Amino acid sequence: MTTSTRGNSLARARLASAWLLALFAAGILVVAAFYKSGDPALFAEQITAHQVTPASWSNWLAFFFIAAEFILGAALIAFVWPRLSFALTILMMLGFIGVTAWAWHKGAIRDCGCFGRLIERGPREVIVEDAVVIAASLAGMWLTRGFQTRVWRQRLFALLLLPALALIAFGTVLPTDALIVGAGPGTKLGGLTVENVPVSIEEGRVLVALVGPDCPPCEEQLPELKRVAAERIVPTVVGVYAGKASEALVWRLRNQPNFPLGNAPERVLRQYYRRLPGAFLLEDGVVRKAWWGRLPAVEEVRRAAGGN
């Protein structure tokens, strides 16, 4: 093997290694951005919980970071301007580490919302993960010294931006609730504790309806839910109000549901929906059917319950 051939082989191996590191960092960024884009309001709430920036900034910051993660992920996948892409990734991870460490020191957070609801980790795990991404990006910068971006990579980058922009613009209305929320058929809602109801949602067949404040559809669609309860299509119908017991009492007095209405802290219940109302048909605590962003009609519940 000539010196020139050996040099070309080493250069190709070096770039291949750098691209694998880029894919590793891109995978983390894109997955995180995808889950956040499905529920940016939840991400904004998590930003507020860190108590680093004013609450009025949270919505803007949520969309900024979602867009930044998608753009950086696309740039790393396309391997366009890799040294710049790696450098920006390092800066973002350093920022995340700083914010997480500050909030952790202040006792403002227990779990990180870096992947939406997909993975809940403590601040220590988040800092370690971000440090690993920084190390991979530093290695990638070193491996790509002297690399020149070709035009076709720039075109690929522009092409990858299209689905990213679509998710930023329309992620909240795409029918991805089961994926984003992670509570589709077969999921056991073991973490959902309902207060102030005389029945258990983990025993038998139960229709659980999620309602809350500032939710006109919750009240507009309530008559159908009352019919489900009146006709006993399922043995038990339970309403869960996202808020305090006193607020649930006011809602119950105003709407007069013919089924028990409990409550759960909004912070807890928020993990099970993107927008209210919603409903789950449970069998011994396991989801058989979910309705997202609405309450089910009588016939829908009858079909889901097997005609019983």
CATH classification of the domain holding 289: 3.40.30.10
Residues 118, 209 share a domain: no
Is 248 or 10 the better-scoring residue by pLDDT? 248
Residues 34, 128 share a domain: yes
Range of the domain at 74: 3-174
Residue 52 pLDDT class (50, 70, 90 cuts):
confident
pLDDT at position 191, please? 72
User: CB within 8 A of 147, min separation 6: which ones?
Assistant: 15, 18, 82, 83
Residues 264, 123 share a domain: no
Q: Residues 165-194: what's their mean pLDDT?
A: 88
pLDDT at position 149, please? 85
Which pair of structure tokens corresponds to residue 183? 């509570």
pLDDT at position 244, please? 94
pLDDT at position 183, please? 84
Q: Residues 174-185: what's their mean pLDDT?
A: 88
Mean pLDDT of the chain, nearest integer:
89
Residues 141, 194 share a domain: no
Q: Is the pLDDT of residue 1 over 60?
A: no
Which pair of structure tokens corresponds to residue 151? 């035009």
Lowest-pLDDT choice from 74-78, 91-95, 96-100, 146-150: 146-150
Secondary structure letter of residue 218 according to DSSP: H
pLDDT at position 104, please? 81
Sequence-ordered alpha helix ranges (H) in 79-214: 82-106, 123-143, 151-170, 177-181
pLDDT at position 106, please? 75
- Specify whether the CB–CB gap between 72 and 29 falls below 8 A: yes
Residues 205, 115 share a domain: no
Lowest-pLDDT choice from 37-46, 118-127, 189-198, 226-235: 118-127
Residues 157, 51 share a domain: yes
pTM to 2 decimal places: 0.85
- Picking from 24, 224, 32, 212, the residue whose alpha carbon sits closest to that of residue 136 is 24
Lowest-pLDDT choice from 74-78, 144-148, 174-178: 144-148
Residue 72 pairs in a beta bridge with none
How many other C-beta atoms lie within 10 A of the C-beta of residue 276?
22
Domain boundary pick from 174, 196, 224: 174
Phi-psi region of 196 (alpha: psi -120 to 50; beta: other; left: phi over 0): left
Q: Is the pLDDT of residue 306 over 90?
A: no
Task: Note the pLDDT tens digit of each residue in 213-260.
Answer: 999 999 999 999 999 999 999 989 999 999 999 999 999 999 999 999
How far is residue 296's CA from residue 72's CA, in Å, rounded to a whole number? 40
Residue with tokens 């809350």: 212
Residue 200 pLDDT class (50, 70, 90 cuts):
confident
Residues 203, 254 share a domain: yes
Give me the number of domains the chain comprises. 2
Helices (H) and strands (E) in the chain, counts: 12, 5
Q: Residues 107-112: what's their mean pLDDT?
A: 61
Residues 185, 170 share a domain: no
- Picking from 248, 237, 236, the residue whose alpha carbon sits closest to that of residue 195 is 248
Domain boundary pick from 174, 200, 225: 174
pLDDT at position 12, please? 84
pLDDT at position 110, please? 58
Residues 227, 193 share a domain: yes
- Specify whether the CB–CB gap between 290 and 184 falls below 8 A: yes
Residues 152, 187 share a domain: no
Percent of the chain with pLDDT over 70: 92
Percent of the chain with pLDDT over 90: 66
Domain boundary pick from 153, 174, 195: 174
Residues 147, 55 share a domain: yes
Q: Is the pLDDT of residue 111 over 70?
A: no
Task: Note the pLDDT tens digit of each residue in 14-32.
Answer: 889 999 999 999 999 999 9
Residues 186, 159 share a domain: no
Backbone angles phi, psi at 292, to 5 degrees: -105, 130
